[in-house]
């Protein structure tokens, strides 16, 4: 579960008078995939909230130990080696990790939650995916909860366009997802298109059970952060490499062409875990002095980078079902956006255009090059910011998102007790 989203939901419940127990793994910043920025947490600082950290699971601990282990000279730890290890994991181990890569946490999560239930009754159960393992903790606890079960589907599961699993495994995921959905009192999704997708794949789940609550941003983080300024025309991309399409590769090709053919002195800073493949790709394009890969960064550093960049790069998601959460952070940073559309159904691209937050172009090198040239021209003339509507979007402020979440909870409670 995203620490920032979790904290927002927990704060909304506690602020309305709920006593909240949060069961979560004792996460480590050393994990190569599930990394946690502890500065973005703080649940235990909220009055009325008790945080219960559990053993995260043996595979999680092994991965952290391997990431910290010093290597001898004969076997250096290189990004390429890490990429190979991740590929082997996805091919050989991931299909058997059901429902997801955090399945090894399940026994400890259920044990801790069960011990809490034996000590006191609970009137509300909230689980958040990803990871879907959280829903299976809820599935196990459901018979002992005397109120509604709120499932937050922050990501698609069995019919996600980015899933690369064997057909037998997808069939299992579909069966498990159905079992969870039909038992949920309220199912929170992030947009109307997700409801349509769920109704298509699980028509037995009534539409009345769904509630739309968008992903938001922490306005205060952006108000407190000082922009990281560059004298060069700077693009910034924050987040992991998308598992769908080649949008970020296309952007880098367009940047290289704009620098070469348009003589544009532009740079790009990428903050997020990236495979060695894309680093090598940027190097082959001659972008060694123009693209900086910073790896995983704390939320404060990400906010500073976003606030100071001249343009923020966004890669959309396919089939019109999901929106990358970073687009709302980009709205909070109040910087123009260059969006590379994944396909014509891309919701994020439509959002950028609808709010006049920047330019949205197809996944085409020539189109990206022309967009970069156009944005650079605006910057040189001093008209970049006034060419777009860079005001805040209050509907995505965490305070408003928290109010909507609380309203969905209260509605579910009324329906449960009716």
Distance from the first to the final alpha carbon of the chain: 31
The region of weakest confidence among 78-92, 266-280, 317-331 is 78-92
Q: Do 117 and 144 contact (CB within 8 A), yes or no?
A: yes
Range 331-346 average pLDDT: 92
The pLDDT score that the predictor gives to residue 73 is: 42
The listed range with the strongest mean pLDDT (65-69, 166-170, 252-256) is 252-256
Range 367-386 average pLDDT: 97
| Domain ranges within the chain, ordered by starting residue | 3-216+398-417, 219-393
Range 195-218 average pLDDT: 92
At 114, list the tokens: 């069960």
Strands 337-340 and 358-361, bridge-based pairing: parallel
Beta pairing partners, 266:
233
The pLDDT score that the predictor gives to residue 216 is: 84
The region of weakest confidence among 14-28, 71-85, 365-379 is 71-85
The pLDDT score that the predictor gives to residue 31 is: 59
Buried b (16+ CB within 10 A) or exposed e, 127-163: bbbbbbbbbbbbbebeeebebbbbbbbbbbbbbbbee
Report d(CA 303, CA 253) in Å as an integer: 26
Q: What are the helix (H) ranges across 311-397?
A: 326-333, 347-354, 365-381
Question: pLDDT class for 144, splitting at 50, 70, 90?
Answer: very high
Sign of CA dihedral 161, 104, 42, 128: positive
Range 73-87 average pLDDT: 54
Q: Do 130 and 152 contact (CB within 8 A), yes or no?
A: no
pLDDT tens figures, 29-59? 665 555 555 444 554 578 889 999 999 888 8
Question: pLDDT class for 1, splitting at 50, 70, 90?
Answer: very low
For residue 412, give the nearest of 73, 155, 145 by alpha carbon. 145
E strand intervals along 146-216? 149-153, 186-189, 210-212
For residue 99, give the nearest of 56, 71, 139, 132 by alpha carbon. 132
The listed range with the strongest mean pLDDT (38-52, 93-107, 154-168, 259-273) is 259-273
3-216+398-417 and 219-393 in the same fold: yes
Q: What is the mean pLDDT of the chain?
A: 87
**pLDDT reading at 152 higher than 80:** yes
The listed range with the strongest mean pLDDT (84-88, 202-206, 218-222) is 202-206
Distances 315 to 59, 199, 249 between C-alpha atoms, Å: 31, 26, 10
Report d(CA 185, CA 15) in Å as an integer: 22
10 Å CB burial of residue 13 (0-12, 13-18, 19+) is buried
Report d(CA 326, CA 241) in Å as an integer: 12
Secondary structure of residue 43 in the 3-state scheme: helix
The CATH superfamily holding the domain 219-393 is Glycogen Phosphorylase B; (3.40.50.2000)
Instruction: Give this prediction's pTM.
Output: 0.84
**pLDDT reading at 199 higher than 60:** yes
69's CB contacts (< 8 A; 6+ apart) are none
Kindly report the CATH class assigned to 3-216+398-417: alpha beta
pLDDT tens figures, 225-245? 999 999 999 999 999 887 777
Question: pLDDT class for 115, splitting at 50, 70, 90?
Answer: very high
Which H or E run contains 271? strand 266-271
């Amino acid at each position: 579960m995203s620490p920032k989203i979790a904290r927002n939901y927990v704060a909304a419940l506690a602020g309305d008078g709920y006593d909240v127990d949060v069961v979560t793994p004792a996460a480590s910043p050393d994990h190569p995939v599930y990394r946690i920025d502890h500065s973005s947490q703080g649940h235990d600082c909220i009055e009325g909230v008790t945080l219960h950290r559990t053993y995260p699971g043996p595979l999680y601990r092994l991965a952290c130990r391997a990431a910290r282990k010093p290597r001898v000279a004969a076997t250096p730890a290189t990004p390429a080696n890490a990429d190979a290890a991740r590929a082997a994991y996805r091919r050989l181990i991931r299909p058997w990790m059901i429902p997801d890569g955090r399945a090894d946490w399940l026994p400890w999560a259920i044990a801790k939650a069960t011990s809490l239930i034996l000590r006191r009754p609970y009137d509300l159960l909230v689980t958040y995916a990803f990871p879907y393992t959280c829903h299976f903790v809820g599935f196990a606890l459901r018979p002992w909860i005397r109120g509604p079960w709120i499932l937050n589907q922050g990501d698609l599961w069995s019919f996600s366009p980015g899933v690369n699993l064997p057909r037998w495994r997808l069939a299992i995921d579909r069966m498990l997802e159905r079992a969870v959905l039909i038992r949920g009192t309220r199912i929170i999704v992030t947009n109307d298109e997700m409801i349509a997708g769920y109704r298509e794949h699980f028509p037995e789940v009534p539409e009345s059970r769904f509630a739309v609550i968008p992903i938001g941003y922490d306005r205060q983080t952006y108000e407190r952060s000082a922009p990281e300024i560059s004298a060069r025309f700077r693009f910034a991309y924050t987040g992991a490499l998308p598992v769908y399409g080649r949008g970020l590769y296309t952007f880098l090709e367009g940047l290289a062409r704009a620098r070469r053919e348009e003589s544009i002195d532009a740079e790009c800073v990428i903050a997020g875990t990236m495979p060695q493949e894309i680093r090598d790709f940027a190097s082959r394009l001659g972008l060694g002095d123009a693209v900086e890969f910073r790896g995983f960064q704390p939320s404060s550093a990400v906010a500073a980078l976003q606030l100071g960049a001249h343009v923020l790069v966004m890669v959309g998601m396919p089939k019109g079902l999901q929106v990358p959460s970073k687009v709302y952070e980009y709205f909070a940073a109040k910087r123009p956006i260059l969006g590379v559309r994944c396909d014509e159904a891309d919701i994020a691209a439509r959002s950028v255009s609808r709010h006049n937050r920047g330019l949205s172009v197809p996944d085409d090198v020539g189109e990206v090059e022309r967009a970069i040239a156009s944005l650079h021209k605006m910057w040189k003339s001093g008209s970049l910011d006034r060419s777009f509507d860079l005001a805040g979007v209050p509907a995505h402020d965490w305070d408003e998102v928290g109010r909507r979440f609380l309203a969905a909870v209260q509605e579910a409670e009324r329906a449960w007790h009716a």
